[in-house]
Amino acid sequence: MEAVGFDEFVVARSTALLRTAYLLTHDHALAEDLLQTALSKAWFSWSRIDGSPEPYVRRILVNTYATWWRRKWNGELATEELPERAHSDASDAVSSGHDLWQAMERLPRRQRAVVVLRYFEDLTEAQTADLMSCSVGTVKSQLSKALAKLRIDPALATSDGKDLS
Amino acid sequence: MNGLDELRWTLDRHAADVVDHDLGGRLGLVHQRVHAVRRRRRTAAAGAAALAVVVAVGVGRVTGSDPEVEPSPAKLGGLDVPGSIESLGYTYRYSSGEVGEGIAAVVLEPAARPRLVSWGKAGADDRVTMTGPDPDGAPLDYDVPDFSEFVSVPAGIEATVSARGDGEFALAVYELDTQAAPPPGVTVDGVTFREDVAGDRLLDAAVGSPGESEVTVSGAGTGSVSYRYFCADAPPGATVHLEVPGAGAVTGECDPVPDTDPGAGSGVTVEAPASGDVGARLWVTDGEEGPPLVSDDVVVALGVYAVTPDRSAAAGYAVRDLVEHDGRLWRRAEVRASEPGQREVVVAGREGRLPQLVVGFGRGDEVSARLEHDGSMWRSGFVDDDGVVVGPLWEGDRAAVRVLSEEVPAAVRLVIALYERVDEGPVG
């Protein structure tokens, strides 16, 4: 049985979801893998979705990302790099944006997800909590921790005067 | 610009940089995944009912908790079955088998140890088409019918491995034999850090006893060193930390089961400091910022390897002489490099009973590698200048490393390195 509207949804909306996936994973290939995984999961319950499917698929995407096990591929040559600790000039917006991007890589997955949902998707705390299947209090505490970690991240240590609050 | 504005700006900028190169093929790939899952579910559902009446189709379900390894049956469907198979110095012992005519499958439930699935076939037609355990993988056609080939199934995952072919044939499942001598290296409680992993040399390793949530390694090294590790059997929320003094720290989540061969996995690579001290610490906390984890079950392990300098230069990349992939060791056989400014390098699979292994090299965010089977893409990913294993290249298939951006930088160089098998064969 083919889910009605699924194909159209993938064509119309998956690029936007890919952007979210990339902000979560910071990796193009992983983002594509995450998106395809989420879409595949959504396919099986497509006929039961009430209303717009996008929040439903986005929920699957975020929760799949948050619970992904660290993958292992025997013999892969690419290796995880330790984060660089070099400081950069905070007056350079491009440079400090790069540092912020690197600093976000060091956030635990749920904290990174909360940051993306709140500040990229512009979801409210309640919407974020609903999407992540947790309480508003958890969203607040995760966001607070994430911002605190970004504030003290060594890559941003020279960013005096910036207030991530 | 205040901090939150900058945060939003950074997210927006990186989101805007995403170019959706795969939109055209995504729908087809998602449907392939859906079909693979449905097939797997059907196979699993059929397995329990079909076991007792296997005539034309053999399907077996193998649990992950077999208490003892069965002795080799010597014969399976009239075929001689080896009692053991070796892979990367580990011995795998025969565990169970299935016989089928036309098609046979085994459904492997998650297990604590890795497994191999091999096959044998009688008759004039040697061709066996294997599928799995990667649900996205293309069917692989082997003309090797004598249990000398295998596909590997990592610990902790569910997998369905199926085979199709004319006539009767057999599938044999092998479990890692923890009673057999492990390969040279450091072995503790069934976990082995091999002393040599594709030329990378073990400098030190530590495996904690269950309940120990911290281990350290020490030693001296030069050049690139790689830290390979795992944390397993931890409660939800546990966070593993690796700190390399002078280089930095990373955090992550624990795995569901211990890794019996952690040296083979990807890790964290840094340049050894001038002092040569490559010591590092791995520990687990209860929550990201919580206290040290107290658990009777948690297992952690950490090893440090000197990364081999045995490489050849090709178009500005350092191509390793040896790599490991899918339970086997491969040696570099051929390197194809692009000319400056060329958009792609394409290689066709050679004639032969066994595939070559494709490793792709490129620089930039938009350099993709893909394998094509029967004219359609079956595996893709982005490569980098350290080299990324793309997968096996079979006769009739194609591999390509390609710049996806509209403009091809004049200086860009792309490389496909092809590797051939070094190790193979049953021992029992």
Residues A57 and A107 in one domain: no
Residue A163, domain member (yes or no) = no
Predicted local distance difference test score (pLDDT) of residue B378: 67
Distances (CA, A) of B342 to A68, B208, B345, B390, B410: 37, 50, 8, 20, 8
Q: How far apart are CA A22 and CA A14, in angstroms?
A: 12
Q: Which domain holds residue A15?
A: 6-67
Range from A51-65, A106-120, A145-159, B376-390 carrying the lowest mean pLDDT = A145-159
What tens-digit pLDDT sequence spans chain B (428 residues)?
Answer: 457 778 888 898 888 888 887 777 788 888 887 877 776 555 544 433 332 222 234 455 554 434 344 455 677 877 889 999 999 999 999 998 888 888 788 888 888 899 999 988 877 677 777 776 765 556 677 777 788 889 888 888 777 788 888 888 889 999 999 899 999 999 999 999 999 999 999 999 999 999 999 999 999 999 999 999 999 999 988 989 999 988 888 888 888 889 999 999 778 888 999 999 999 999 999 988 889 999 999 999 999 999 999 999 999 999 999 999 888 999 999 999 999 989 999 999 998 888 899 999 998 767 888 888 766 666 667 778 888 888 889 888 899 998 877 788 888 899 999 999 996 444 44
Distances (CA, A) of B201 to A156, B193, B221, B301: 36, 10, 10, 17
Beta-ladder partners of B348: B398
Q: Is B359 within 8 Å of chain A by CB? A: yes
Query: Same domain for B33 and B164?
Result: yes
Query: Residue A90: pLDDT above 80?
Result: no
Last residue of a domain, one of A30, A51, A67: A67
- Cβ of A79 and B226 within 8 Å? yes
Q: Is A17 within a domain?
A: yes
Q: Do both A100 and A56 map to the same domain?
A: no
At A122, which CATH number? 1.10.10.10
> Would residue A30 count as lying in a domain?
yes
A115-136 pLDDT per residue, tens: 999 988 888 888 899 888 888 8
Indicate the residue among B176, B205, B236 that finishes a domain. B176
Q: How many domains does chain B have?
A: 3
Question: Which CATH number is B216's domain given?
Answer: 2.60.120
Q: Is residue B168 part of a domain?
A: yes
B66 shares a domain with B204: no
- Judged by CB atoms closer than 8 Å, whether chains meet at A10 and B387 is answered as no
> B60 lies in a domain?
yes
Say if A80 falls within a structural domain.
no
Residues of B in contact with A23 (CB under 8 A): 11, 14-15
pLDDT of residue B360: 93
pLDDT at res. A97: 60
**pLDDT at residue number A66:** 75
Distance between CA A40 and CA B41 in Å, rounded? Answer: 14
pLDDT for the residue A159 = 41
CATH number of the domain at A32, please.
1.10.1740
From A24, A49, A67, give the residue that closes a domain. A67
Cα–Cα separations (whole angstroms), residue B232 to B238, B268, B327, B426: 10, 18, 22, 31
Average pLDDT over residues A92-118: 78
Residues B290 and B152 in one domain: no
Q: How many domains does chain A have?
A: 2
Distance from the Cα of B22 to chain A's closest Cα (Å) equals: 8
CB contact under 8 A, A36 and B3: no
Closest Cα in chain A to B318: A77
Whole-Å CA distances, B308 to A65, B75, B221 = 33, 43, 12
Answer with the one of B266, B281, B306 that is the final residue of a domain: B306
Q: B93 and B199 share a domain? A: no
ipTM above 0.90, yes or no: no
- Contacts of residue A11, Cβ cutoff 8 Å, sequence gap at least 6: B23, B27
Spatial distance between the Cα atoms of B161 and B131, rounded to a whole number of angstroms: 6
Q: B43 and B167 in one domain? A: yes
What residues make up the domain containing B77? 26-176
Has residue A23 been placed in a domain? yes
- Residue of chain B nearest A154, judged by CA positions: B248
What chain A residue is nearest to B327 in terms of C-alpha separation? A74
Residue B288 vs residue A83, higher pLDDT: B288
- How far is Cα B299 from Cα B231, in angstroms, rounded to an integer? 6
What does the pLDDT read at residue B130?
78
Average pLDDT over residues A71-85: 41
Q: What does the pLDDT read at residue B138?
A: 61
Which of B176, B202, B225 is the endpoint of a domain?
B176
Is residue B91 located within the same domain as residue B109?
A: yes
Residues B291 and B357 in one domain: no
In a domain, residue B2? The reply is no
- For residues A139 and A101, membership in a common domain is answered with yes
Closest-CA residue to B161 (of B97, B80, B223): B97
